[in-house]
Amino acid sequence: MLEKMSDFFEKRLDGYDEHMLRNIQSAEEFYPFTVRQLPVTENCSVLDLGCGTGLELQEYYRLNPSARITGIDLSKGMLTSLKKKFPDKDITLICGSYFDVDFSASSFDCAVSVESLHHFTKEEKISLYIKLHEALKDGGYFILTDYFALSDEEEKMHRENLISLKKEQGICDNELYHYDTPLTVEHETEALLKAGFSSVKVLKNWGATYTIKADK
Ligand SMILES: C[S@@+](CC[C@H](N)C(=O)[O-])C[C@H]1O[C@@H](n2cnc3c(N)ncnc32)[C@H](O)[C@@H]1O
């Protein structure tokens, strides 16, 4: 049965960190690698899309303890757990969908997202990335670590599976449901370029998990 996105993560909060670090392939490498791409300048401002319980932030604060973070996540429980980990940090947490939250007024040195954006279509991402592009300062950039479909056929199969599951279960609302529908790296790159990013490059990959850098 498909579950609403926020319910899915809310229900799996217990043991979430252990699950990610032990069971997700190459997590011990991609979290440290991802945060090494973030700015180390004092008091820089970083937006985290789908911050969850803050696994990437845990690593990042070791490199840059003064970073000012804005984290957006749908799950209240994940954010509560994150806040408890970093009681003394300058951190703004927003419970909501990054598709709906207005972040254009803010101005970030950098944005990051880890293992959160593989649920959405290219079209949905283009509108999100336009908003993100506007919210970055000149010279700012976006670091995306996520897993990707390895072919157009795989991407299409996931999307079609989701459509038929929704049909079978009589779901016709516009709510977000948890089902992995990763794009190919090529389609992700096209979405970022279409949104206005000037260059997009793959920094590293571990199987289907890639870290991509998009420059404003
Ligand atoms: C697999 S977790 C990754 C969390 C964290 N970045 C990490 O690597 O541990 C995915 C997170 O994305 C969040 N998420 C999914 N869709 C979202 C959306 N549209 N807006 C905000 N958060 C979202 C979920 O609530 C969940 O906490």
Whether pTM > 0.85 for this model: the answer is yes
For ligand 1, the distance from its centroid to the CA atom of residue 214, given in whole angstroms, is: 20
Cβ atoms of 192 and 129 within 8 Å: the answer is yes
Q: pLDDT tens digits for 48-69? A: 999 999 999 999 999 999 999 9
Q: Is the CB of 72 under 6 A from ligand 1?
A: yes
| Pocket test residue of 74, 76, 132 for ligand 1, highest count of atoms within 8 A of CB | 74
Q: Mean pLDDT of all residues in the chain? A: 95
Burial of 206 (0-12, 13-18, 19+ CB in 10 A): middle
Q: What is the pLDDT of residues 193-216, one digit of tens each?
A: 999 999 999 999 999 999 999 999
Ligand 1 binding pocket includes 64 (Cβ within 6 Å)? no
Please indicate whether residue 5, judged by its CB atom, sits closer than 6 Å to ligand 1: yes
pLDDT at 167 over 70: yes
Instruction: Please give the domain boundaries of the chain with CATH numbers for all domains.
Output: 5-215 (3.40.50.150)
